[in-house]
Amino acid sequence: MVRKYAAELVGTLLLVYFAVGVATLSFGFELAGGSPAAGVVATALAFGLVLLVLVYAIGPVSGCHVNPAVTLGVLLARRMTPVEAVGYWAAQFVGGILGALLLWATFTNSPDYERSVTGLGADGWGDASLIHIGMGGAFLAEIILTALFVFAVLAMTGPTAIASVSGVAIGLALTTVHLVGIPITGTSVNPARSLGPALIAGGSALSQVWLFIVAPLIGGAIAAVAHEWLERPTKETPLPPPDSNR
């Protein structure tokens, strides 16, 4: 179990450092220039590609959840015990915070970085949203996006899934939800990914982070219920006996 927890901690750390790093470079440092679409695509690809690599790198060790919402979905699908889930959650949140700290330590060496202005790729609504979405819309979007992503993870790690391509499918699923979600909220779908940067950025990012913890967990629970219902074997209706009079 220690190896599993260590893998989840390191995996979440790397996801935050690299993918949130691209988000900060694209939008905080404005390296995407005057094209928000370029920043959206770059950030979405970063999250998807980093997760794709992690699935194959640490998947054999821990399953590569690196996301408390995914762990909740796996727990509700009865693929792990509550004790294991608590350990995974602790490792993921610690990894997310450490990843954000390392990212912040990297950027503070740049004269162009100012935490209150550049931020750290935190999620948000209102003025922190590219489309200035309200709290209700942000909450709904995070539930839907997380449900889709966690459902994809559960489907691609089930007994009938093809393990050799699961990483590609999961990475593409995360890329897809980011393409939609970045303009709306910045895209969380991962409480550990949101908490770490929010703790560093402070301000409105920290005051709003509760939504990006609660909504993804609700989405993960919905995904688990939907997956169980769809995967439930159906009883075949027996054919009627042949007509003996014919």
Structure confidence at residue 1 as a pLDDT band (50, 70, 90): confident
Q: Are 10 and 95 in contact (CB under 8 A)?
A: yes
Give the model's pLDDT for residue 14: 98
Structure confidence at residue 234 as a pLDDT band (50, 70, 90): very low
Q: What is the 3-state secondary structure (H, E, C) of 207-241?
A: HHCCHHHHHHHHHHHHHHHHHHHHHCCCCCCCCCC
Give the model's pLDDT for residue 242: 53
- What is the tens place of the pLDDT at every residue in 62-74? 999 999 999 999 9
Q: Residue 127 and residue 150: Cα distance in Å, rounded? A: 28
Q: Residue 125 and residue 218: Cα distance in Å, rounded? A: 18
Give the model's pLDDT for residue 246: 47
Instruction: Assess whether pLDDT exceeds 90 at residue 232.
Output: no
Structure confidence at residue 230 as a pLDDT band (50, 70, 90): confident
E strands along 52-203, which residues?
none
Task: Enumerate helices (H) and strands (E) in the chain, giving the number of each.
Answer: 11, 0
Structure confidence at residue 241 as a pLDDT band (50, 70, 90): low
Which candidate, 142, 187, 150, places its Cα nearest to that of 67?
150
- What is the tens place of the pLDDT at every residue in 103-160? 999 999 999 999 988 999 999 999 999 999 999 999 999 999 999 999 999 999 887 7
Instruction: Assess whether pLDDT exceeds 80 at residue 244.
Output: no
Whose tokens are 């996301």? That residue is 67
**Count of C-beta atoms within a 10 Å radius of residue 222:** 19
Give the model's pLDDT for residue 245: 53
- What is the tens place of the pLDDT at every residue in 7-61? 999 999 999 999 999 999 999 998 887 789 999 999 999 999 999 999 999 999 9
Instruction: Assess whether pLDDT exceeds 70 at residue 165.
Output: yes
Give the model's pLDDT for residue 240: 53
Backbone angles phi and psi of 230, in degrees to 5: -75, -30
